[in-house]
Amino acid sequence: MKTTVIGYPRIGSHRELKFAEQKYFKQTVSADELAQTASVLRQENRGTVSGAGIDQLPSNDFSYYDTTLDTAFLLNIVPKRYKDLNLSSLDEYFAEARGYQGDKGDVTALSMKKWFNTNYHYIVPEFDDDTDIKLVGTKVFDEFKEAKNAGITTRPVLVGPYTLLKLSAYKGSKRPADFAATLVKAMMPYSVNWLT
Amino acid sequence: MADLGAEWVQLDEPSLVKDQSEADLELFTDLYKPILATKHGLKILAQTYFGDVRDSYDLLTSLDFDGLGLDFLEGAETLDLVKSKGFPADKTLFAGIINGKNIWKANYDKKLALIKQLPVADDKLVLSTSCSLLHVPYTLANEPQLDEKYKRYLAFAAEKLTELTDLETILTGNGDAILKANQALFAQPRYEENETITRQVASLKESDFHREPAFEERAAIQKKEFNLPELPTTTIGSFPQTREVRRNRSKFKKGEITKDQYDEFNREQIKACVEFQEKIGLDVLVHGEFERNDMVEYFGEQLEGFLFTSNAWVQSYGVRCVKPPIIWGDVARTHDMTVKESVYAQSLTDKPVKGMLTGPVTILNWSFPREDLSPKETTYQIALAIQAETLALEKNGIKIIQIDEPALRENLPLRKSDWYSRYLDWAIPAFRLVHSKVQPSTQVHTHMCYSEFGDILDAIDAMDADVISFEASRADLTLLDQLNRDHFKTHVGPGVYDIHSPRIPSEKEVAGTIEKILKKVPLNNVWINPDCGLKTRGETETTASLENVVAATKEVRQELAHEGR
CA dist A22 and A10 (Å) reads 15
Q: What pLDDT sits at residue B383?
A: 98
Kindly give, in sequence order, each residue whose CB lies less than 8 Å from that of residue A174, ignoring residues fewer than 6 positions away. Answer: A127, A128, A129, A131
Number of domains composing chain A: 1
Look at B127 and A148 and tell me if their CB atoms are within 8 Å. Answer: no
| Residue of A11, A108, A191 with shortest CB distance to B315 | A11
Q: What pLDDT sits at residue A75?
A: 96
Question: Is residue B99 scored above 90 in pLDDT?
Answer: yes
CA dist B96 and B49 (Å) reads 8
8 A C-beta contact, residue A168 and residue A125: yes
Question: Is residue A101 scored above 50 in pLDDT?
Answer: yes
Write down the catalytic residue from B40, B445, B491, B500.
B500
- Class for domain B8-186, per CATH? alpha beta
In B, minimum Cα distance to A9 occurs at B134
Look at B317 and A120 and tell me if their CB atoms are within 8 Å. Answer: yes
- Identify the CATH number of the domain defined by range B206-563: 3.20.20.210
Question: Is residue B475 scored above 60 in pLDDT?
Answer: no
| Residue of A98, A101, A160 with shortest CB distance to B318 | A98
Which of B4, B93, B129, B532 to mutate against chain A (most A CBs within 10 Å)? B4
Distance from CA of A120 to the nearest CA of B (A): 4
Look at A2 and B160 and tell me if their CB atoms are within 8 Å. Answer: no
CA dist A11 and A182 (Å) reads 33
8 A C-beta contact, residue A171 and residue B22: no
pLDDT for B257-307, tens place per residue? 999 999 999 999 999 999 999 999 999 999 999 999 889 989 998 999 999
Q: What pLDDT sits at residue A189?
A: 63
Which of A15, A118, A146 to mutate against chain B (most B CBs within 10 Å)? A118
At residue B477 the predicted structure's pLDDT band, cuts being 50, 70 and 90, is low
Q: What pLDDT sits at residue A195?
A: 44
Q: Within a 10 A sphere around the Cβ of A29, how many other Cβ atoms?
A: 18
Percent of chain A with pLDDT over 90: 92
Cα four-point dihedral sign B521, B527, B532, B534: positive
Classify A62 as helix, strand or coil: coil
Q: What pLDDT sits at residue B485?
A: 84
Mean pLDDT of chain B: 94
pLDDT for B315-368, tens place per residue? 999 999 999 999 999 999 999 999 999 999 999 999 999 999 999 999 999 999
Question: Is residue B412 scored above 50 in pLDDT?
Answer: yes
Task: Kindly state whether residue A165 falls inside one of the protein's structural domains.
Answer: yes
| Residue of A6, A112, A177 with shortest CB distance to B49 | A6
Task: Kindly state whether residue A10 falls inside one of the protein's structural domains.
Answer: no
CA geometry: angle at B312 spanning B387 and A21, to 5°? 110
pLDDT for B23-66, tens place per residue? 999 999 999 999 999 888 899 999 999 999 999 999 999 999 99
Mean pLDDT on B76-97: 98
CATH number at residue A59: 3.20.20.210
The domain of A123 spans: 16-195
pLDDT for A135-189, tens place per residue? 999 999 999 999 999 999 999 999 999 999 999 999 999 999 999 999 999 988 6
8 A C-beta contact, residue B356 and residue B374: no
Q: What pLDDT sits at residue B39?
A: 86
At residue B1 the predicted structure's pLDDT band, cuts being 50, 70 and 90, is very low
CA distances from residue A42 to A5, B10, B314, B366 in whole angstroms, order as listed: 15, 18, 17, 27
Q: Where in chain B is the domain with CATH 3.20.20.210?
A: 8-186, 206-563
Mean pLDDT on B421-450: 95
**DSSP assignment, residue A59?**
E
The reply to whether omega before B213 is within 30° of 0 (cis) is: yes
Task: Kindly state whether residue A105 falls inside one of the protein's structural domains.
Answer: yes
Mean pLDDT on A78-91: 98
pLDDT for B107-134, tens place per residue? 999 999 999 999 999 999 999 999 999 9
Q: What pLDDT sits at residue B519?
A: 92
Q: What pLDDT sits at residue B343?
A: 98
Q: What pLDDT sits at residue A196?
A: 39
Classify A179 as helix, strand or coil: helix
8 A C-beta contact, residue A128 and residue A22: no
pLDDT for B507-544, tens place per residue? 999 999 999 999 999 999 999 999 999 998 999 999 99
Q: Within a 10 A sphere around the Cβ of B173, how many other Cβ atoms?
A: 7
Catalytic residue at B445? no
Q: What pLDDT sits at residue B473?
A: 58
Question: Is residue B451 scored above 80 in pLDDT?
Answer: no
Q: What pLDDT sits at residue B159?
A: 98
Q: What does pTM read for this prediction?
A: 0.89
Classify B149 as helix, strand or coil: helix
Q: What pLDDT sits at residue A192?
A: 53
- Between A and B, how many CB-CB pairs are < 8 A? 275
Long-range contacts, stretch B84-89, CB < 8 angstroms, 24+ apart:
B85/B57, B85/B58, B85/B61, B86/B119, B87/B61, B87/B118, B87/B119, B87/B120, B88/B61, B89/B120, B89/B121, B89/B124
Q: What pLDDT sits at residue B242?
A: 94
Complex ipTM value:
0.98
